Structure 1
């Protein structure tokens, strides 16, 4: 166990890190104003929006990036000086400081090619490989698209009707999350300041007031935004020493979104169209890297049958922080990338007989890369076990059985199975 004085010093330094991070709002800093959308539609959707570096520079971030970056550098030195360079606590917090400094540099370069480069450094690139000799994320997305497209074209599994007004959705979702997250007290509220349909805060879920929802979508929001995003934030806030676990860095975003997507699938809440949307995000980012512009991505979405409003919103996600003819913001690859990473971690944990460690994925906003360090800090008493644990992680028997059987089935040749079973269908 670690000396109590060192733990108290850890809490002090961690609180300083949280305070420095608090004003950083990446999406607020890079999202486009409503006027940009209105002008795009006034131009009959024929011209790229007018966005350049000057557009971003006029936006007040609430802080000076260079000054805040210097403050993180000072804190990073203090962490090493007071905890020791080889101390696992110092290593964890030091990495967070470094990542936040890169975030601040990325925000400084909004509207320039460097923005994309720093985005790739933080979130990754769709053409990155998980392992040598295996498919890239883009190739995996294309492989996943084929069976999804067959399901969507056949319309065998139609989407539930979006017939719940946002105001009613607030009440319904509030009842659901507070029944399944006892003791957390999650607030569900309306918002007109978010681009997506919904977004999670520390103890709340915001719903776009201009959107109608289906009951299936509310079920997804319960487990995705509630169980994972709000749940891990609250678990981080409950930590006695490493309070910075409540704050997510970009690398932890990948793991967070992966956990959330995995949870959607394991709980049978997700749908083929929902998964197709996540796949399309990777493909859109890839197309922009290969030279597509905003109008190209917008038209692609319209051609897929999406409404003009939704097509604009999805296209904007790819270009926010950049320009309509520039390289993309790569955060949207996080969902499927994170799913693959988390899924494989769980499979290996089962294989090694270490499934008991998996709930530590929920102690806060952590990254897969830091999992060994997190388990070490947990064994030393620096990190406590998560306060809120979703049902599928609380009782791991079902998850272990499902994934163990999936490993066995995955070793069979699907091509041969398809040839043998295809004659059975009309």
Structure 2
């Protein structure tokens, strides 16, 4: 790579970093706790009326255009930086259109939507969510699924997280905070993991948060901060969300902490986004969630996620909640395909910082030129990938099996066998406590 080209990449990456850093999307779309309190105190009968600070996109769009003007055509790195420009521009336009139907359009471009096909497959997130609901309903009929017991407090979760992150990150370990207001049960940045004070958790949730928030979100943030030559990798803008959340859910899956209750909640959110897109207002979506939630507070929080920045009357929701399952499937598919293609080496690049799957080719080139550093912090399953590789080896073999034929054979075998009444509660409770 010519030194002038390397310097051009450094310059564009720095410009994009400086433009994207102030656009803290979720902070700008946050609702104060009083909105929930007033809504529930009023019997959930009046639409909430959140207010947002206006966002002027003029300077941001001009800065993005300046960065874009330095790009050339024909290289993987230029193409990636061009997509970064597009994502940051769309983010600015989304924030400038809060409360309008345009907000939804930009949101769908950035995060996906329930009916937009996945990157590697014609399946849509809504198809996936409905399939998950069908399978979980079938499992529920077998009475094998225990009811999740949410008897753990925020303090209980923190007592598990704090020693674990100190061991994993050493002096770079994030601070663990218990806070009163939060958009989810827990949220991570590079330097902090926040846990909502009034949230209730299962015993498995602490390990799920460790794998999702710490081993992915904190780790990719720290790794991105170390990329002095390509600093845009330190910024988690909406263009990276599908991959980042997908990677985090994939980490839950590989670590055995992606419980069925969690999977159902992720599927519920996609269905609810579609309900809002079809015209359901805040109250109608809240009532839908209330039938599926432990309490009114949880139903409110699930609904609020979908109406952040969006018209409360429905029709144009915030689609970020589509990113989790669609991102998970995309990441899992990419990892498997890279393995089959003999390019498992590229999987480690996914932890280089805040990035999207399509940046891997560019990052491989930048890594070769010494402009991107190897990731310092990796989740345990990536630091020692032997388990993942054995899992992928068996998975590749299983993918070639004619499941329809096997299912037919097993169905015939068990056609006249009585259903077994399994008492598995004690076993499940023991597993949950691990």
**TM-score of the aligned structures, taking structure 1 as reference length:** 0.89
CA contact (8 A) 2:154 2:199 kept: yes
Relative distance call for 1:164 and 1:2 in structure 2 (3 A) is farther
Structure 1 position 293, deviation (Å): 1.9
Q: Does 1:136 align with 2:118?
A: no
Q: Does 1:24 align with 2:23?
A: yes
Within 5 Å, give how 1:217-228 maps onto structure 2. Answer: 217-228=205-216
Q: Which residue does 2:81 correspond to in 1?
A: 93
Within 5 Å, give how 1:366-405 maps onto structure 2. Answer: 366-405=355-394
CA contact (8 A) 1:181 1:227 kept: no
CA RMSD between the two structures? 2.4
Q: Does 1:212 align with 2:211?
A: no
Determine helix, strand or coil for the equivalent of 2:204.
Answer: helix
Q: Which residue does 1:288 correspond to in 2?
A: 276
Within 5 Å, give how 1:91-170 maps onto structure 2. Answer: 91-130=79-118, 134-152=122-140, 156-158=144-146, 161-170=149-158
Q: Which residue does 2:326 correspond to in 1?
A: 337
Match of 1:72 among 64, 70, 74: 64
Relative distance call for 1:85 and 1:406 in structure 2 (3 A) is closer
Structure 1 position 186, deviation (Å): 2.0
Q: Does 1:180 align with 2:168?
A: yes
Match of 2:402 among 412, 415, 425: 412
Matches of 2:410 and 2:106, distance apart in 1: 43
Matches of 1:279 and 1:291, distance apart in 2: 19
Match of 2:296 among 308, 319, 330: 308
Determine helix, strand or coil for the equivalent of 1:371.
Answer: helix
Structure 1 position 422, deviation (Å): 4.2
Determine helix, strand or coil for the equivalent of 1:162.
Answer: coil
Match of 1:346 among 326, 335, 355: 335
Deviates more, 1:150-159 or 1:166-175: 150-159
Matches of 1:128 and 1:42, distance apart in 2: 37
Q: Does 1:359 align with 2:348?
A: yes
Match of 1:260 among 237, 248, 252: 248
Structure 1 position 232, deviation (Å): 0.7
Matches of 1:361 and 1:188, distance apart in 2: 25
Matches of 2:410 and 2:307, distance apart in 1: 40
Structure 1 position 380, deviation (Å): 2.7
Determine helix, strand or coil for the equivalent of 2:187.
Answer: strand
CA contact (8 A) 1:234 1:364 kept: yes
CA contact (8 A) 2:33 2:181 kept: no
Structure 2: state its 5+ residue gaps.
Answer: 421-434
**TM-score of the aligned structures, taking structure 2 as reference length:** 0.88
Determine helix, strand or coil for the equivalent of 1:215.
Answer: coil
Determine helix, strand or coil for the equivalent of 1:181.
Answer: helix
Q: Does 1:250 align with 2:235?
A: no
Structure 1 position 370, deviation (Å): 2.0
CA contact (8 A) 2:76 2:361 kept: no
Structure 1: state its 5+ residue gaps.
Answer: none
